[in-house]
Amino acid sequence: MAMMSQIRDHSNPIDPPAISSDGNDSYPEAMLETWGKLPEYSGLGRPPTRKQPQPGWKCLQVIKHRSGGRITGITYRVVYGDLKGVPALMGLNTAYVERTNLTSRQMNGRMVRKTLSFSKDEKMLKASCAWEDWVYNLTRPVKTLRVEVNDGQRRWQPRSAAMAAGLTDHLWTIKELMMKVVIPKRDNTK
């Protein structure tokens, strides 16, 4: 739920983005809780209390069935949206999400289940996730984002995700990252 609130606050406050998830029903439920709207009260009977999804929502679940550690089948379920349009738009896999989650778990021990470093305190988990995001986006060159330069000395210029997004002009070092003072944005609307 907190993740959906952050997505709403940082992107579109009116409509959710298209979401593809595994068989966990918490994503569609969080979408409904965050962006859903109560139906208009007609004046008859009890006023509605359950939020409803809105037209234009897109949510796809890719459910993998396993037996003995092997995938035995995959079921696709369109939770919100057009039965043909949503799979065509989003594709029928969760490979990108799974790769992102794996990278996050490899970089951040607090995200790994059943280890001594598993995070029990939400404040520390948020801090370690923020640090992992900074390190990943500013210091790590991503091979698929590099640009060809052919300047005689080298063929490729390595780039980080932040460089590709135009947020910085160089790969940061960990020292540089540690020395940077980040001033939090204040939000006085709450």
Task: Please say if the pLDDT value at position 186 is more than 90.
Answer: no
> Contact 8/35 with Cβ under 8 angstroms?
yes
- Per-residue pLDDT of 127-185, as tens digits, reads 888 888 889 999 999 999 999 887 888 889 999 999 998 989 999 999 999 998 776 66
> Contact 145/163 with Cβ under 8 angstroms?
yes
Tokens (6 digits) for 93: 């896999």
> Contact 179/187 with Cβ under 8 angstroms?
no
- Per-residue pLDDT of 96-123, as tens digits, reads 777 888 888 888 888 887 888 877 888 8
How far apart (Å, rounded) are the C-alpha atoms in residues 163 and 141?
9
* Residues with Cβ within 8 Å of residue 65, at least 6 apart in sequence: 71, 72, 73, 74, 75
Q: What share of the chain has pLDDT > 90, as a percent?
A: 16
Better-predicted residue by pLDDT, 25 or 54? 54
Q: Give the pLDDT score at 100.
A: 80
**Chain centre to alpha carbon of residue 126:** 14
Q: Dihedral angle at the C-alpha atoms of 56, 59, 60, 61, nearest 10 degrees? A: -160
> Contact 139/174 with Cβ under 8 angstroms?
yes
Kindly report which listed range (42-51, 66-75, 97-106) carries the lowest average pLDDT score.
Answer: 97-106
